[in-house]
Amino acid sequence: MHKVGFFRSIQLKFIIIYILLLILAVQLIGTFFTGQLSKNLEESFKDNVSSRMELLSYNLERVYNREQTETEEGMSPEAEVQDIVNELSTDDLTNVIVVNSQSRIIGTNNNLVEINQRITRDIIQQVLFFDMTKEDDFINENGEYVYVRVDPILDNENNVVGAIYLESSLEGVYKQLDEINKIFLQGALLAVAISAIIGVLVARSITKPIKEMRRQAQAMAKGDFTQKVNVYGKDEIGQLSEAFNDLNSRLRHSYATIEEERFKLSSVLSNMSDGVIATDQEGSITLINEAAGILLGKNPDDLIGDDLLDVLQLDEKLVDISELRENSSMIIDFSDDHQPFLIRTNFSTVKDDQDAINGFITVLNDVTEDEKVEQERRDFVSNVSHELRTPLTTMKSYLEALADGAWEDKEIAPKFLEVTQNETDRMIRMVNDLLQLSRMDAEEYQLHKEETDFIDYFHQIIDRFEMNLPETTTIKRELPNKNYQVWIDKDKMTQVLDNIISNAIKYSPEGGKIVLRVENKRHYLLISVQDEGMGIPYDRLEKIFDRFYRADRARTRKLGGTGLGLAITKELVEAHHGRIWAKSREGHGTTIYFTLPLIKRKRRDVR
């Protein structure tokens, strides 16, 4: 957040508003005061002029009401009128003119005006003709405001016998008014200055807690809830400060709770083996955990904002994400030419308090192994059914033939019984192998291991096979002349070697050679059995250790195999903490490899 300058602060706004209100009040008061003062001064001035005009009219009417030839001191009326005008003339009465009914001047205090001169001013003519008092204001040639008043002179019979024209300067009134306005303006400026200082203090007292709350709000926005706002009073701002501190405490508690829940959620999402993807209502990804990124083979951060249907490759199956139903599930095939890969997706919707959908949650699970196990289970059931059906069908056919009378035939009956017995033995071997595999899967069998010199033990196994070896097959031993101690169950390891060597003998052609090797690989022994048989195609090589798998079904069945020997062998080797695999080329034979860990020197010393 940027810092607010003084010229944009609320403190300056308070000061400006305060001063503007004060100036407005002073302006209104000054306007009213000046108007009333001007009015009162003008009325006082006019009253003064009016009283002088009344006195002048009274004296002049006395002159006109006497005989024209009579005077108090033997003076003519014109001289007496002039004396009266001179006596009443003052500096503010700038021009006083007395005219008779013929509009001739009979007295004046203006040296520029001649006696007996006829005057034709409209205002004087109106008074003489209409017997009425007239007033007027104008600006003279000197630029001064002048007040003009004209009163009629009446005789005893109320006939107009003349008029009094009076001019009086208003400059004194306006100068007095200007002086008063200057004094008022100086007082107003002083009041504004003092008020501005007071306004600054008042504004600071008001805005100081607001500034503190602003700083605290900025700190809260950054996650700092440790500071408190000072409370300076119990007024509205003080109550606001207390409410702000209370809000700070609540937010701190809520923020801590949210952070704790967020950390828990993040920890849960990070440590989940299942992938989780959250989207908005449009299907754009807003959250994705690491497990989902691993399952999809992409960086989770790069998928934020992408469309869920595109990421899950559902754009061809679903036109719009709104087609996803609540708690719907589907399996998406991400397999390629080299490896199967299946992901189960479970969709659920996120709804607001109005029950409107505002997002989706998608949970991803790798079900490749589950589907593989399920398929193996189905294949196992199918294979067991097929393997049992063949001998059972054979036995049924021969037994029906015997029941139909073949038992009386001394040549055929023994052959039929021999076949039936062979098929029975074969089923017994199959059932025994299945029981052994079942016990291995359930880990119900125990290995009785003992320290054994493997080279000497291996020679004994080979010697046993050589006693019953077909004449057309030879065994070549490539065994080191050393002692290698291993920790094995001799009975189970004998079964392993019997299965591997028996298969090599079965699939060896006439004149074939079987090579048996043992190599020391420092921490373990590498045992291999190589034949010169027909070999196994590359794409089937890894399947020979699967249950009921046969590279050549017809020949294996003819040789009496159950298809479980190598599966049992693999289980037994792994139970000895070894590993087994095969290499082969079609037409060039097959080699079976397996490893056994050597006993360390320290371990033998302890024993």
Q: What is the pLDDT of residues 307-353, one digit of tens each?
A: 888 888 776 666 566 666 666 778 888 777 677 888 888 888 888 77
Residue ending a domain, among 150, 176, 202, is 176
Least confident of 51-55, 164-168, 443-447, 480-484: 443-447
Tell me how far apart the 2 most distant CA atoms of the chain are, in Å: 207
Same domain, 527 and 512: yes
Same domain, 347 and 416: no
DSSP code at position 460: H
Give the tens place of pLDDT for each residue, 537-553.
877 777 788 766 665 54
Same domain, 170 and 100: yes
| Tokens encoding 492 | 């189970």
CA distance 583 to 569: 16
Average pLDDT, the chain: 78
Residue ending a domain, among 176, 205, 235, is 176
Domain of 301: which CATH number?
Answer: 3.30.450.20
Same domain, 552 and 487: yes
Distances in Å between the alpha carbon of 339 and those of 281, 324, 366? 34, 29, 13
Same domain, 75 and 146: yes
Residue ending a domain, among 176, 193, 216, is 176
Domain of 593: which CATH number?
Answer: 3.30.565.10
Give the tens place of pLDDT for each residue, 222-269.
777 777 777 777 777 778 778 878 888 888 888 788 888 878 877 777
Same domain, 362 and 411: no
Q: Specify the length of the chain in residues.
A: 607
Same domain, 65 and 24: yes
CA distance 504 to 491: 20
132 is a domain residue: yes
CA distance 32 to 151: 33
Q: Is the entire prediction scored with pTM above 0.85?
A: no
348 is a domain residue: yes
Same domain, 67 and 147: yes
Structurally, the chain folds into a number of domains equal to 4
Give the tens place of pLDDT for each residue, 263-312.
887 777 777 778 888 888 888 888 888 888 888 888 888 888 888 888 88
Same domain, 328 and 403: no
203 is a domain residue: no
Angle at 48 between CA 47 and CA 50, to 5 degrees: 60
191 is a domain residue: no
* Whole-number pLDDT of residue 77: 67
Same domain, 522 and 407: no
Same domain, 500 and 572: yes
Where are any strands of DSSP class E within 305-411?
A: 329-333, 342-351, 357-366
219 is a domain residue: no
Same domain, 432 and 464: no
Domain span including residue 392: 372-441
The band of 556, judged by pLDDT with boundaries at 50, 70 and 90, is very low
**Residue 68: is its pLDDT beyond 50?**
no
206 is a domain residue: no
Least confident of 194-203, 283-292, 560-569: 560-569
Domain of 416: which CATH number?
Answer: 1.10.287.130
Beta strands at 342-351 and 450-453: parallel, antiparallel or unpaired = unpaired
